[in-house]
Amino acid sequence: MKNNREPSLDDLSVFLAVCDAKGFRAAAKRLGLAPSNVSDTITRLEKQLGLPLLTRNTRSVTPTEAGRELEARLGPLLSQTRAALQEISTASTSVTGLLKLNVAGSVMVDILPPLIDRFLAAHPAVRVELVVDDRLTDTIAQGCAAGIRYPEHLAKDMIAVPIGPRYQELALAAAPSYLRAHGYPAHPRDVMAHQCVRLRFASGALTAWDFERDGEKITVDPASRLIIGVDAAAAGIELARAGHGLICTFRNWLDPYFQNGSLEPVLPMWWQRFDGPKLYFPSRRMPAPLRAFIDLVAESPVAEG
């Protein structure tokens, strides 16, 4: 009598093992099961299907006509199923595919490129796409696995890990030639009387010129003859080096020019310190390329800034 319950894949796998091994004991040894368990499984399977699948005698076990047909049709299907499961399992752990990140332009100067260079060298099967965007967009809706932003712009439900320097500074600078001609500001408010090179976000807002010292915070908004988009900040720095005014931006962008003397620090005691950028993502369940990148970031030394 046929049982309405459908056979399980495990039971069907035992049936195929018995057919292949041509016996219960040999199949049980291969499967790591007791021979009685194998025998009980075949009995249950035959009851569920309502017909005998194997002919048993003291010397051998052979499939019936129905058993041979089931073996011929089921064998390739279970083999393909095992292959598909293995491929999915491998894909979840192997580092292949696309890593797409939405990042602020500020990390593209000297923070992110060295990390991407190391990541590409370590994982040659991964493709990387960087969407550089200073607007506060929905990273996940854009199809990105993760984003890089500063802490004040992170949603509370996101997981975030430091990337790059732990701290950064907003530095004010000018060319020596400009300072000789126009003098040194003694206080942030004095900046209002100077020529300035300003940077503007894609959103239209100008980057803030914030200063802080001994608990006193000052924001100035000087007029400017020269405003440049943040995606061309390097050009703004070059124009400041050429003597066209003060510029206020990330200290790590300006450090090379402080070192070679083409820019001078201005009001360094007022430079504001802030937390460095974070790599953020919505869940701890993530594709393998992102997990590998997070691991690389975690292994990288974090500068104190």
pLDDT digits (tens, 9 = 90+) for 45-64: 888 888 898 988 767 788 89
Q: Which amino acid is at 237?
A: I
Whole-structure pTM value: 0.62
Do domains 9-92 and 97-160+279-299 share one topology? The answer is: no
Q: How confident is the model at residue 283 (pLDDT cuts 50, 70, 90)?
A: confident
CATH class of 167-275: alpha beta
Q: Which of 69-73, 96-100, 121-125, 140-144 shows the lowest per-residue confidence on average (mean pLDDT)? A: 140-144
Who's near 106: CB < 8 A, 6+ residues apart?
134, 230, 250, 277
**Structural contact between residues 273 and 304, judged by C-beta atoms closer than 8 angstroms:** no
- Give the mean pLDDT of 65-84: 82
**In this predicted model, what pLDDT tens digit does every residue of 171-205 receive, in sequence order?**
999 999 999 999 999 999 999 999 999 999 877 88
Say if residue 218's pLDDT is above 70: yes
Question: Token match 């991964």: residue?
Answer: 126
Task: Write down the pLDDT at residue 209.
Answer: 96
**Which segments of the chain does DSSP mark as H helices, in order?**
9-21, 24-31, 35-49, 65-93, 112-122, 176-182, 233-241, 251-260, 288-299
**In this predicted model, what pLDDT tens digit does every residue of 129-154 receive, in sequence order?**
998 887 666 666 567 888 888 877 66
Say if residue 101's pLDDT is above 70: yes
**CA distance from start to end of the chain:** 78
The rounded mean pLDDT for the chain is: 87
Domain 97-160+279-299 CATH assignment equals 3.40.190.10: yes
Domain spans of the chain, in order of start: 9-92, 97-160+279-299, 167-275
Who's near 233: CB < 8 A, 6+ residues apart?
105, 109, 199, 249, 253
Q: Tell me the percentage of the chain whose pLDDT exceeds 70.
A: 88
Task: Write down the pLDDT at residue 29.
Answer: 87
Say if residue 168's pLDDT is above 90: yes
Q: Tell me the percentage of the chain whose pLDDT exceeds 90.
A: 44
The domain 9-92 is classified under which CATH number: 3.30.43.10, 1.10.3470.10, 1.10.10.10, 3.40.190.10?
Answer: 1.10.10.10
